[in-house]
Structure 1
């Protein structure tokens, strides 16, 4: 009974840890952007992350096949290329604290897309959490969250990431409906490390033309100093790689609305980290962040059951996938 309860909470814990790491990225990215250009930062952090992830994922089943799957390309475009590119460009026009606060829109975007695309019912506890998180957004907005070009870019990126989250869940549910042969691995099952790595491969590849264009325009700049080089290394190894794996694991197994509510912690935590790095404190903004965190706590007290969610990513079945548990590409 205890093990079952813990297993059901693992996806929620995974998303929570991913959100905690994610929240620090705005301030660190702001430090890196003091010397580096946006494309160098975006491609560089994922290139470093892939140095960590690829050797681990390549040893697991279905890695090459997952990289080739069209769904992985879409996930890489939405969850890596568009989101991180627009966020890093947005940080050129707004502060890290403001960029973090703009993430308060993510829970509502994710829940709404989950409602329309997945037809997921939103539980009363989740609704309460979303209402409180939205109230926190309103408080923060009244404290000075301005709709400048940087925030607009961040919001477009957030819409892309919300769709990425919903498509992760949609693929998982589709796989759950595909019966597996008795005694064999479910068709198309791929573990989170493999899917996250394959997604990062495509996201990085899609951003390469942007880096080339930046270099051709003479706008590319490499990071320098402890804040630049150290920040980029920290983003790649400690933040990007673990966040991808943990978020993919949890988002596949949790209802989209629940995942979205947990991400409501990003504005408060991101703003708090920005304060640590030197941004001025604002009491009303802090109050809004606290209200959003209360919404997260209420929605997360009772973790949803994950028994019906699959272990894999819902990739289309292949005739040779059911060859056995040790099949490799």
Structure 2
């Protein structure tokens, strides 16, 4: 979330000279230069890349979310785009309830309530609704669904009984066990591929432009290597192991951390906004301590292992 909150301001600076498609595709292609050499060595990379589920995740969590957010940044400010993330915890918790039928613990409900109050205060101090905000909200809904689908497949994987046979049956079982690095990389590949026609459209219509200046030329590689690549892997790892509602509450830290990042860049402090951010962070801390039984099985059950469960 800390890395994620930094992306809005940097993306807005890159968009001063680069076109939205160039930014969206460029940051992923640079990130893939880091991820692919690492993921290609891991088991199941090619199989994961071929799965329809991976294409859907790439569409929701990469192509739609980042494209809509970057286009939204053309019409609204970076601060407003960051504040619009106030809706993400509610989106994720609601979809988790509808799709996964997750039962929320009291601690999670309290944390979600505090986080929601905090982000409403933050949003109320600076959020204005325009076409940019609407695009960002649609992108956030796509990312919330992406989060829930990550969790859904992980629950299915942990519930699948181990197969002791060989051949096709064993292959079907092991296909569930995908490392976060492998899944994040395969998702990013499909997301980038889906966005390529958009970049081609910009090129044909003459609206495509490369970043220029030290901010643009330095910001795009920074987004790809420091933010996009690690955030994809870390978020996948966490979202597969946490209830969707808790993952959603954790995203409430984005407006608060985004505001803190803006302060570090020289923005004048606002007491009202700082108070809302502090309340949101308290909610995040409360919900982060998940009660017993709300987590998935240990990582070796979730990723690749699981053989000890039948012994």
Fold equivalence (TM over 0.5): yes
- The 5 A counterparts of 1:129-278 are 129-182=111-164, 187-188=174-175, 189-278=177-266
What residue is the counterpart of 2:31 in the other structure?
49
What residue is the counterpart of 1:4 in the other structure?
none
Q: What's the offset of the Cα at 1:217?
A: 1.2
Q: What's the offset of the Cα at 1:216?
A: 1.1
Q: Which has the higher helix share?
A: 2
Q: What's the offset of the Cα at 1:155?
A: 0.5
Structure 2 residue 297 is matched with structure 1 residue 308 = yes
Unpaired runs of 5+ in structure 2?
none
Mark the CA change 1:26 to 1:277 in structure 2 (over 3 Å): closer, same or farther. same
Q: Distance in 1 between matches of 2:159 and 2:46?
A: 24
What residue is the counterpart of 2:109 in the other structure?
127
* Normalised TM-score (structure 2): 0.91
What residue is the counterpart of 1:111 in the other structure?
93
- Render the CA deviation track for 1:208-264: whole Å, top value 9, x for unaligned: 011111111111110112210111011101111111111101101110011111111
Q: Is the 8 A contact 2:54 2:187 kept in 1?
A: yes
What residue is the counterpart of 1:61 in the other structure?
43
Mark the CA change 1:36 to 1:303 in structure 2 (over 3 Å): closer, same or farther. farther
Q: What's the offset of the Cα at 1:277?
A: 2.8
Over the aligned positions, Cα root-mean-square deviation in angstroms equals 2.2
Q: Distance in 1 between matches of 2:302 and 2:24?
A: 25
Q: What's the offset of the Cα at 1:312?
A: 7.8
Secondary structure of the 1:125 match is helix
Structure 2 residue 16 is matched with structure 1 residue 29 = no
Q: Is the 8 A contact 1:254 1:304 kept in 2?
A: no
Secondary structure of the 1:136 match is helix
Aligned length: 299
Q: Distance in 1 between matches of 2:58 and 2:112?
A: 27
Structure 2 residue 66 is matched with structure 1 residue 77 = no
Q: What's the offset of the Cα at 1:141?
A: 3.1
Q: Is the 8 A contact 1:168 1:313 kept in 2?
A: no
Q: Is the 8 A contact 1:176 1:309 kept in 2?
A: no
